[in-house]
Amino acid sequence: MPEMLQVIPVQAPVQNAPFPLVDTILEAIEATGQSLQDGDVLAVSSKYVAISEDRIITLSDIKPGPKAEALAERYNMDATMAQLVVDEADHIFGGIPMGYLLTWRSGIIAPNAGIDRSNIPNGLAVLLPKDPYASANDLRAALYERLGVQLGIILTDSWLVPGRYGTTGVALACAGFEPVQDERGKADLFGNPMTVTQRGMADSLSVCAQTVMGERDEATPLAIVRGASIIMTDRTLSVEDVAIPWEMCLYVESLTLGLLPDGAPRESMTAKLGKRDKTV
């Protein structure tokens, strides 16, 4: 029987400039009357980590280049934001004329390379941590040095699931536990061997954490996940432990090379909606 899973929200001070992350986390946990225990997973907002690392951009300092200007015109977006996406994305797939580019960044397919302009003063934007897995590993090591407890760490973010309304949690990076549990070769309820199933533990726990952390003005950038059935590890994790190459992604290949000719749209839905609005 699995253990009972607990997800404990931890409020912390709102930040809009670099700050000491470890001290702030420990003070916030103490203020809630909680303490970290062996086997806990500490979920931390990737944006909170990014702010601590001074990944804050003043938009007026950005000068768009020709590529950004072309993207901005094609997809009806701010050229400054387009330039940031060009600078930050590992790959740009395309976009929609609502000001969004679909990108690959740090092993995640996400809009606008994860660049965030919410919950930060006007005129600023927050980039993702430069090396999310290094940030997660460093945070785990620092907390072990201070507390002597074996923890898992998740840098959690929110993303859009293809074909669904609403955002959900995703692990931008993790440390201290195996992010994927391989069930291949094990028996199912009827004794049949599992052939493809690999459980995304880091992403699943990120979803749990996001349910208590919120997206708006909750000021809850931390959550303690306790009782998760995880496999702790001291090995240094990287994006290769969780992300397949985007060229091998079911969604990407199906909607590019694998697109059926008779299923290819002749016009984007946003264009259709725009025409409908003009006739109303």
- Residue 95: inside a domain, yes or no? no
- Tell me the β-bridge partners of 56: 126
What value does the CA radius of gyration of the chain take, rounded to a whole number of Å? 21
Domain count, the chain: 1
- Residue 146: inside a domain, yes or no? yes
Q: State mean pLDDT over 123-145.
A: 97
- Residue 25: inside a domain, yes or no? yes
Phi and psi, residue 171, nearest 5°: -85, 110
- Residue 190: inside a domain, yes or no? yes
Domain range for 152 is: 6-54+129-243
How high does pLDDT run on average in the chain? 89
- Residue 35: inside a domain, yes or no? yes
Task: List the structure tokens of 75.
Answer: 């997809």
Q: Given a cut of 80, is residue 270 above it in pLDDT? A: no
Q: Given a cut of 80, is residue 214 above it in pLDDT? A: no
- Residue 10: inside a domain, yes or no? yes
Task: List the structure tokens of 35.
Answer: 């303490």
- Residue 259: inside a domain, yes or no? no
- Residue 116: inside a domain, yes or no? no
Q: What is the pLDDT of residue 194?
A: 59
Query: ∠ CA 172-175-181 to the nearest 5 degrees?
Result: 85
75-83's contacts with Cβ under 8 Å and 24+ in sequence apart are 75/99, 75/100, 75/101, 77/101, 81/112, 81/115, 81/117, 81/125
- Give residue 262's pLDDT band: very low, low, confident or very high (50, 70, 90): confident
Q: State mean pLDDT over 247-254.
A: 85
Q: How many other CB atoms are found less than 10 A from the CB of residue 72?
A: 21
Length of the chain: 280
| Contact in structure between 98 and 270 (CB atoms under 8 Å) | yes
CATH number of the CATH domain containing 12? 3.30.1330.100
More confident residue, 166 or 52: 52
